[in-house]
Amino acid sequence: MSKWQAAYLGEKGLEIYQMADQGQAELLYSGLLDGLKSVYGGMQRRILILGRSKVIRIRKQYPPMKMDKLLRAVEMEAPALFPIVNCSFHCKIVETYPTHVILDIWAWEREPLERLRKSFAFGYIIPEDLTFLSSPSGIYIYPFGSMVHVIACGEGRFIDAASYPAAGFSKADLELFLTGLANSSSLIKEIRFYGDTAVDVPSALISCVKNIQRFDSPPFMKAVEGISIKPFRLENGIWPLNINREVLLRFAIYIVLAYGLMLYLTLNNYDKALMDLKNKVMMTGKEINLLNNSGALQGDRETINDFEARMKETVSPLKILDFLAAGLPEESYLKSLVLNNGILEVTVSSRDPLMVIKKLSSSERIGKVSLKGSPMKENSTGIYNFALSMEIKP
């Protein structure tokens, strides 16, 4: 992309940049969404990058299916998965196995984006987590606003991401993040620190560290230049799918009728035109009957029935938060959680890890609780950071 425009919607509002080659950027607007007036720029591509604070991501397992059916399944489950009214989403396959696929899902509220598009006619939506897909495989750590974002990805694959308050970002935070990447540690080729975010890293990774003190535009803006943005076009699954085959066939009938009317108005070969029109209508009617009677939608119905059954067995993330909050002792806090096929992985901060494990193990909704790795203690506060894995009962 030679010249293009990019908008970033984050926790403090909206920023719009005019981008050129080599990551050069000119800030066109910074402020609240309601204060934006129309932005013009000719026939340039316009991209919207959704900040991490505006998106909810979950990782979930599904039966092996093509992407269009996966999108329809996610659309059906979205009201139960996300505490968002009228949400849109983007999906990316993490792993594919003969028995199932693992899917990352990013969801966001649609209404603010529809308002933004009236003034900034973007054609692509990219979650901030996915802006580094084509960069060298590694970890990107950069400040933005009051937060420090840590994103691990590269070579077309998203691995993990987290955000921390900039004022308290420390070596312990990075070590905890690295603990969660144990299965993907071989993919870490670089660790890039932008600005004044650098902290100590394990000795085995010192050679991977790169410090970038000066940058004219946010790091994710330059990273977007290297990725293929085609999967992020609005018509490629970003908005929920609402395809009605019967409506499409009715539209085909209207086209045939219009064609017949045109022939009638010419007053030439009227009989032949009428017969041709009748034949076309009959053929279209047969196609509709075949669609209704031949069971062409049987595969879709089976998919819908399968996912309705799975939804009944799925525990809502909001319910999980409720009984986790009730089970945690005082001065214990959740820092992150990932639910995958009935297994919940959480990161906890507490002064008494043993008490947290005992409390959670006594919950009727929680099965086996396992400690992942060793708790890490912050000497200045006496607080332990540790990761747990537990089974969630339906």
Q: Average per-residue pLDDT in the chain? A: 83
| pLDDT score recorded for residue 281 | 80
Confidence grade of residue 394 (pLDDT, cut at 50, 70, 90) = confident
CB atoms within 10 A of CB 267: 8
**CA atoms of 386 and 318, how far apart (whole Å):** 22
**CA atoms of 390 and 320, how far apart (whole Å):** 12
**E-strand spans in 20-123?**
25-31, 45-50, 56-62, 87-96, 101-109
Closest CA to 223 of 215, 213, 231: 215
**C-alpha dihedral sign at 250, 256, 260, 262:** positive
| pLDDT score recorded for residue 246 | 54
Confidence grade of residue 245 (pLDDT, cut at 50, 70, 90) = very low
CA of 163: how far to CAs of 272, 339, 377, in Å? 71, 18, 20
Confidence grade of residue 2 (pLDDT, cut at 50, 70, 90) = low
Burial class (CB in 10 A: 0-12, 13-18, 19+), 117: middle
Instruction: Kindly tell me if the per-residue pLDDT of 171 is higher than 90.
Output: yes
Q: What is the dihedral of CA 238, 242, 246, 249, to 10 degrees?
A: -30
**CA atoms of 390 and 107, how far apart (whole Å):** 25
The domains of the chain are located at 245-305, 317-392
Higher pLDDT, residue 14 or 253: 14
- Could you tell me if residue 15 is left (phi over 0), alpha (psi between -120 and 50 degrees) or otherwise beta? beta
Mean predicted confidence (pLDDT) in 215-228: 86
Determine what percent of the chain is predicted with pLDDT higher than 90: 37
236: three-class secondary structure by DSSP: helix
Superfamily of domain 317-392: General secretion pathway protein M, EpsM (3.30.1360.100)
Instruction: Kindly tell me if the per-residue pLDDT of 126 is higher than 60.
Output: yes
- pTM beyond 0.85, yes or no: no
Instruction: Kindly tell me if the per-residue pLDDT of 110 is higher than 70.
Output: yes
**C-alpha dihedral sign at 108, 103, 327, 376:** negative
Determine what percent of the chain is predicted with pLDDT higher than 70: 85
Confidence grade of residue 293 (pLDDT, cut at 50, 70, 90) = low
